[in-house]
Structure 1
Amino acid sequence: MRGRRTSGERVVSDRGRRVSDRGRLRRRGAQRGRIIRRRVIALTLVIGTLGLLYGVYFTPLLGVRSVEVLGTKDLTKPQVLDAAAVPSGNPMLTINLAAIRDRVAALNRVASVNVSRSWPATVRIDVAERVAVGVIKTPTGAHLVDHTAKDFATVASAPAGLPELQLTSSAADDPTAVAVVQVLMAVPDKIRAEVLSVSAKSPNSVVLSLSAGRQVRWGGVADSTRKAGVLTALMTQPGKVYDVSSPQLATISNP
């Protein structure tokens, strides 16, 4: 009869069920194995990453081994290294580059400085030193002044070729000193090479003394570009005093 299964049919059905169950178990086991392998791989990567970070940040594995100093001329490498105070052996990534830069920048002769990492184990310090544009002569020595009017060094005697700045002192916040330096830098190169000294009683009364007893009355820093052009034209004519303090009414005289 159709509604009743024979014993043979039941055996075949049970056998099929068991085969199906074993298949499901194998698939579940394989899936579970894949999950475990993925978790092991992920855990290994995490542990490896943590180990690498620990090695980089907290051990001398990638620590500072050397410090390279570039760009010095009058400064010595030991002077820069002493100011930089780079901690040898400390991990490269934990080195405070800004703090090193600030310490080196505090040296009077330093105009600018850049500090960088040079992998795998070197800190690089690139220094640009101040360049003297004039000198203030005093009984204690010759004070070198740069284009910002900063008095950055004192030497025993004035270097050849630098004009004397006839000031009692120089500083970036001294209006008269700043005016003297700015005027000197505004003078055309060819004429600047003939400047022997620069003086001023106020920021608007700058006077340059040139070779052969000549004098340039410049006045203040206003209209310096125009004054430079006018002076270049005037100095093609003979004279002793070239007054460009009012460039629209510039004069030449022979007092």
Structure 2
Amino acid sequence: MSATAARRRPAASGPDSRPAPRRRPPRGRSRRPVRRPYRRAVVRRRLIAIMIMLVVTAVVCTVWFTPALGVREVEVRGAVHLTGDQVREAAAVEPGTPLVRVDVHAVDARVRELPRVAGVHVERLLPGTLRLTVDERDPVAMIISPDGAHLVDATAKDYATVTSPPSGLPELRVGPDALAAAVGVITQLPEALRREVLIVTADTPSDVRVTLSAGREARWGSSADTPRKAAVLEVLMTRKGTVFDVSSPELPTVS
């Protein structure tokens, strides 16, 4: 029998003629090429996470605990009668204090303690400026006393005393309980009528009297319904008379 015929002859059947099982490659050799890149990626991710944490920690420490971003300047805006130094002294912000740690609410409260300050807006401006925008009180009337002219604002607050009475402000001659009512009348008057007011007198909140220019007087009563009373008074002032009673705007009188 030739060698070719021997190769073509089918294998013998029987219990001992089963094909040999295929050998699997060793597990260690097949997994090594997969594990190494995976481990390298994990190590890289961990290193990146650690670096990010270190950077964030450094930034937080720099911002919160060092003077690198500390207060270098306290800028004051809006002050007219107050000086910038007066506002800065009231704010009491220590130079070098980390800007993010400045308690803006506490600064606001301290600056508002200045009698002339009606309000203040506190801003943090990087890298190291704290800006204070001040809103000063505006006088609407004055109280003349031996120590000078006391300025009163629209909230009926006596906030400052000056030596010479300012021109154009009406004088208040009122009792302590009637101060708010008298100021309430003044602030609700139209601008043209307000310029005519010289003196506001009141012993109680319900008996406000307004002395006008040219020897005229308006009996106002309480501060209630002031806009309507003012409109009625403007009509009455076109008539002859010196005393205008608008305490009851439905039944005004002229005498």
Q: TM-score, normalised by structure 2?
A: 0.89
Q: What does residue 171 of structure 1 align with?
A: none
SS in 1 for 2:198: strand
* 1:192 maps onto 2:194 in alignment: yes
Q: What does residue 25 of structure 2 align with?
A: 17
Which 4+ stretches in 1 moved above 4 angstroms?
Answer: none
The AA in structure 2 aligned to 1:17 is P
2:110 pairs with one of 103, 114, 128: 103
* 1:113 maps onto 2:115 in alignment: no
Q: Is the 8 A contact 2:220 2:247 kept in 1?
A: yes
Q: What does residue 122 of structure 1 align with?
A: 129
SS in 1 for 2:115: coil
Residue correspondence of structure 1 range 21-60 to structure 2 within 5 A: 21-60=28-67
| Runs of at least 5 residues in structure 2 that lack an aligned partner in the other structure | 1-10, 12-16
SS in 1 for 2:41: helix
Q: What do you get for the CA RMSD once the two structures are aligned?
A: 1.7
Q: Is the 8 A contact 1:188 1:232 kept in 2?
A: no
The percent of aligned pairs where both chains have the same amino acid is: 46
| Runs of at least 5 residues in structure 1 that lack an aligned partner in the other structure | 169-173
2:70 pairs with one of 63, 67, 74: 63
* 1:132 maps onto 2:139 in alignment: yes
The AA in structure 2 aligned to 1:115 is V
Q: Is the 8 A contact 1:135 1:145 kept in 2?
A: yes
Residues 196-243 of structure 1: CA deviation (Å, up to 9, x unaligned): 111101100001111110001111011112111111211122220111
The AA in structure 2 aligned to 1:190 is A
Q: TM-score, normalised by structure 1?
A: 0.89
Q: How many residues align?
A: 240
Q: Is the 8 A contact 2:142 2:172 kept in 1?
A: yes
SS in 2 for 1:44: helix
Q: Is the 8 A contact 2:174 2:182 kept in 1?
A: no
2:224 pairs with one of 222, 225, 230: 222
